[in-house]
Amino acid sequence: MSDKPIIDLRAVTKKFGSVEALRSIDATIREGEFFSLLGPSGCGKTTLLRMIAGFDSPTTGTIAIDGEPMAGVPANLRPTNMVFQSYAIFPHLSVADNVGYGLKRKKLTKAEIAAEVEKALAMVDLVGYGNRAAHELSGGQRQRVALARALVMRPKVILLDEPLSALDKKLREQMQVELRQLQKQIGITFILVTHDQEEALIMSDRIAVMFEGQIAQIDSPEGLYRRPASKRVASFIGVMNFLTASARPSEGGLLVKIPALGQIKLDRSAMPKGFDASDVKTVGVRPEMLTILFERTDTAEQEVKGKVLDTSYYGDMTYYTVELPGPDEPVTISMRNTAGRSVLPAGSEVRVGWGSDSLVVFE
Amino acid sequence: MNSAKGFRWLAVYAVAYMIFLYAPVVLLPLFAFNDATIIAFPLKGFTSNWFTVLWETEALHGAVENSLFVGISTAVLSTILGACAARAIARYRFPAKQSLVGFIMLPLVLPEIIVAVALLVMLMQLGLPLSLWTVIGGHVLICVPFSVAILNSAFQGLDQSLEEASFDLGETRWGTFRRVIFPLVLPGVISSLLITFTISLDEFIIAFFLTGTDVTLPVYIWSQLRFPAKLPSIMALGTLLLALSVTLLVVAEWFRRRQAKRQGIDPGSTPQGYI
């Protein structure tokens, strides 16, 4: 991965009639990056992908690929290739003819095309499948053919429109890992559209979270999870407990009062830029950032008393719903199940440990 | 037990129904090979003489040529028009689409005699001379709905992302049509050509009203029915037409099923939409 920008989106908007599908999208995607557009259905992520591919054009704003503005350049002349949600395998052609479809336009001999097709099939682990008919393939195999068909063109960018949504869970998880490894190996920029936050976290170098035609935040998976920019992003990516809070400046940082937990001093760096102490209305805390202190000897930076209301057992984890002091809803705490520790029954009085690292501040 | 009895009655009903439908058709070949000028039982003996008579009738040859000309022209024209309409129905949204489609399909249920008389009156008013071309015009009118119905299912089954994928892989619009769309709808096109040709070949009323001095095969048959002596050879002609029609329809159905299979649709289903 380099720092060279491969796709540059500047103030891109899209209107369908009076409906604004995309509002002022600005983003730079770097060469060799695995970039995801993540959001609920109808957030405009597919529209944005189709505009990069050239199937749609922005109402205003510019899209540049590798430094060249793409306005007026049709899809067949763009250095991008797409893997469609339905795979769009040509049903009347064999696997090899599907993969070699785009090469026929290039000036290659038959032998060269066959060699390229073989190479692409090897990349997606489909050696020996060249003569199969399209309808003889399983869902996972069709997905691989669609990918090979794009790879063989050696585009600057490969666009993937929810490519794994039609597969069952096991195969999907396997493909997530394979796709990521393949992308790292060949170094082509991938842009993935997905509504599955787990998929985006597993596969991406960076993720753009989109709501209602706008990008809410662009960050690495860890950055998004640990430092979500808004409550909406925080609750879209994983689970987040929200607690009422207030804050006032204190030397070198701010003092945050949380009725449910207590009081803590946070570093100034914990606050988003342009944020004042008076803006703090809520803190967020992930279920795994709170700990139930099982043993008398267990300690934490801070602790508070709570009462278990309910438990959900997941095998490796147990999720506790715990009532804390103050006006807030009960919080969810996840605890890894270890040897020799049984699940606490509802009604148990517990000590809950937390610390300054656990918190994210919001408006 | 009750259901077994019910099933038996159903079987009897089905057989009776088939006899009712096809017994008159079976009479055609029966008398075509019967060695007698009078069409009546008992049969006299086997002969293929009536087919030889057909072969030697000059006027018949002209009628066959006319029918082939009308049939092929009708098939090509109505399939082209049908393809354009089916593509538009499958791909685009436009105002009053449903009612427009309704008007295109309307000739399916209009009595042919009404259509024929209306066309004749219109042609007279316009001062156009009657010819085989006016017959073709009338036949295209009644064949387009069939063509639309057949091709509509072909175009509906065509996933739009296939076109986009082709375009995305560097192919031009024309190249996409040539390499993806055409091969995928080809079985439907062939099926439409065969069925519209068959309809035109068998059609009598419009051909009778709208033709000038050149007659088509059904009109020729009608004219010959006045001469009782010619009846057995007409039976022979009917037998040939029957065999040809059945063959064409079977081939057309085979193409339609192949199309459905290619697109991954259950081939047992009837064309979707308008039939």
Segment B8-15 shows an average pLDDT of: 91
The whole-number average pLDDT for the span A111-116 is 91
Name the band, by pLDDT with cuts 50, 70 and 90, for residue B3: low
What is the distance of C-alpha A265 from the center of its chain?
A: 32
Nearest to B180 by CA among A141, A149, A129: A149
Spelled out in words, what is the top-level CATH class assigned to the domain B59-262?
mainly alpha
Q: Indicate whether A2 pLDDT > 80.
A: no
B interface test, pick of A89, A92, A193 with most B CB neighbours within 10 Å: A92
Co-location of A83 and A43 in the same domain: yes
Angle between helices B217-224 and B58-91 (to 10 degrees): 140
Q: Between chains, do A86 and B161 touch, taking CB under 8 Å as contact?
A: yes
Question: In the block, which residue shows the tokens 């259905």?
Answer: A41
Buried b (16+ CB within 10 A) or exposed e, A214-243: ebbbbbebeebbeebbbbebbebbeebbbb
Shortest Cα distance, chain B CAs vs residue A92, angstroms: 7
Strand spans (E) along A124-205: 157-161, 189-194
Give the strand pairing for A262-267 and A317-323. Answer: unpaired
> What domain count does chain A have?
2
Q: What CATH number corresponds to the domain at position A25? A: 3.40.50.300
pLDDT tier, B2 (very low <50, low <70, confident <90, very high otherwise): low
- pLDDT on residue A146: 93
Q: Out of A36-45, A267-276, B265-274, pick the least confident.
A: B265-274
Residues A84 and A207 in one domain: yes
User: Do A80 and B168 count as a contact with CB atoms less than 8 A apart?
Assistant: yes
**B30 or B65, which is more confident?**
B65
On whether both A255 and A293 belong to a single domain, the answer is yes
Query: Domain of A264: which CATH number?
Result: 2.40.50.140
Quick check: A252 pLDDT over 90? no
Q: What percent of chain B is predicted at pLDDT more than 70?
A: 93
Decide: helix, strand or coil at residue A105: helix
Query: Higher pLDDT residue, B40 or B159?
Result: B159
The dihedral through the CA atoms of A271, A274, A278, A284 has a sign that is: negative
Most confident of A28-32, A102-106, B2-6, B96-100: A28-32
User: In this structure, are A141 and A268 located in the same domain?
Assistant: no
Cis peptide upstream of residue B42 (ω within 30 degrees of 0): yes
What does the angle CA B117 – CA B122 – CA B128 come to, to the nearest 5 degrees? 115
First to last CA, chain A: 35
DSSP class per residue in B150-174: HHHHHHHTS-HHHHHHHHHTT--HH
Q: Do residues A230 and A248 both lie within one domain? A: no
* Among the ranges given (A123-137, A161-175, A210-224, B52-66), the one the predictor scored with the smallest mean pLDDT: B52-66
Confirm whether the ipTM is greater than 0.90: no
Percent of chain A with pLDDT over 90: 45
Question: Which residue, A171, A109, A170, A100, is CA-closest to A130?
Answer: A100
All residues of chain A having their beta carbon less than 8 Å from the beta carbon of residue B177 are none
Residue-wise pLDDT for A21-41, tens only, equals: 999 999 999 999 999 999 998
Q: Are A120 and A43 in contact (CB under 8 A)?
A: no
Pairwise CB contact (< 8 Å): A76 & B161 = no
Instruction: From chain B, pick out residues whose CB is under 8 angstroms from the CB of A85.
Output: 161
Tens-digit pLDDT profile for residues A177-207: 999 999 999 899 999 999 999 999 999 999 9
pLDDT of A51: 93
Give pLDDT, residue A161.
Answer: 93
- The span from the CA of A71 to the CA of A51, in Å, is 10
**Are A322 and A187 in a shared domain?**
no
> What's the domain range around A302?
241-362
A199 and A147 inside one domain: yes
Q: Is-contact A207 A221, C-beta < 8 A?
A: yes
Enumerate the β-bridge partners of residue A38: A194, A209
> B2-16, B22-36, B127-141, B250-264: which has the minimum mean pLDDT?
B250-264
Q: Is A92 in Cβ contact with B183 (below 8 Å)? A: yes
Q: Which of A232, A240, A256, A258 is nearest to A327 (CA)?
A: A258
Residues of A within 8 A of B167 (CB-CB) are 55, 74-76
CB contact under 8 A, A101 and B183: no
Residue B171 has φ and ψ, to the nearest 5°, of -80, 150
- Same domain (yes/no): A129, A265: no
Give the model's pLDDT for residue B25: 83
Confidence grade of residue B93 (pLDDT, cut at 50, 70, 90): confident
Query: How many angstroms separate the CA atoms of A49 and B156, rounded?
Result: 25
A149 to chain B, any CB pair closer than 8 A? The answer is yes
How many residues in chain A? 363
Cβ pair B236, B54 in contact under 8 A: yes
Q: Does B180 touch chain A (CB under 8 A)?
A: yes
Nearest neighbour of A102 by CB, restricted to B161, B170, B180 = B170
Name the helix (H) or strand (E) containing B237: helix B231-262
**pLDDT band per the 50, 70, 90 thresholds, residue B262:** low
Distance in Å, alpha carbon of B154 to nearest chain A alpha carbon = 13
Q: Out of A76, A91, A153, whose CB is closest to B167?
A: A76
Return the higher-pLDDT residue of B205 and B261: B205
Burial status of residue B127 (CB atoms within 10 A of its CB: 0-12, 13-18, 19 or more): exposed
pLDDT (mean) for B53-71: 86
Instruction: Tell me the DSSP string of B198-210.
Output: HHHHH--HHHHHH
Mean pLDDT of chain B: 84
| Structure confidence by residue, pLDDT tens digits, B142-160 | 999 999 998 988 888 888 8
Q: How confident is the model at residue A1 (pLDDT cuts 50, 70, 90)?
A: low
What's the confidence (pLDDT) of residue A40? 92
Q: Which of residues 129-168 of B touch A (CB under 8 A)?
A: 159, 161-162, 164-168
Q: What is the pLDDT of residue B272?
A: 41
Residue B245: alpha-carbon gap to chain centroid: 8
Q: Where are the domains of chain B?
A: 59-262
User: B58 CB near a chain A CB, below 8 Å?
Assistant: no
Instruction: Note whether A77 and A21 are within 8 A (CB).
Output: no
Task: Considering only residues A251 and B240, tell me which one the structure prediction assigns the higher pLDDT.
Answer: B240
Asked if the model's pLDDT at residue A319 lies above 80, the reply is yes
Of B162, B168, B180, Cβ closest to residue A81? B168
Q: Which of B61-65, B77-81, B89-93: highest mean pLDDT?
A: B77-81
Of the two residues B238 and A83, the one the predictor is more confident about is A83
Work out the number of other CB atoms within 10 angstroms of the CB of residue A66: 15
**What is the per-residue pLDDT for B259?**
67
Distance from the A8 Cα atom to the nearest Cα atom in chain B, whole angstroms? 20
Local structure of residue A63 (DSSP, 8 states): E
Q: Count CB atoms within 10 A of the CB of residue B180.
A: 23
What string of DSSP letters covers A271-321?
Answer: SPTT--GGG--EEEE-GGGSEEE-STT---SEEEEEEEEEEEE-SSEEEEE
pLDDT > 70? residue B270: no
Q: Does A75 contact B159 at a Cβ distance shorter than 8 Å? A: no
Q: Which residues are A333's β-sheet partners? A: A320
Instruction: Tell whether A196 and A56 lie within a shared domain.
Output: yes
Provide the angle, in degrees to the nearest 10, between the axes of the packed helices B112-126 and B132-156: 130
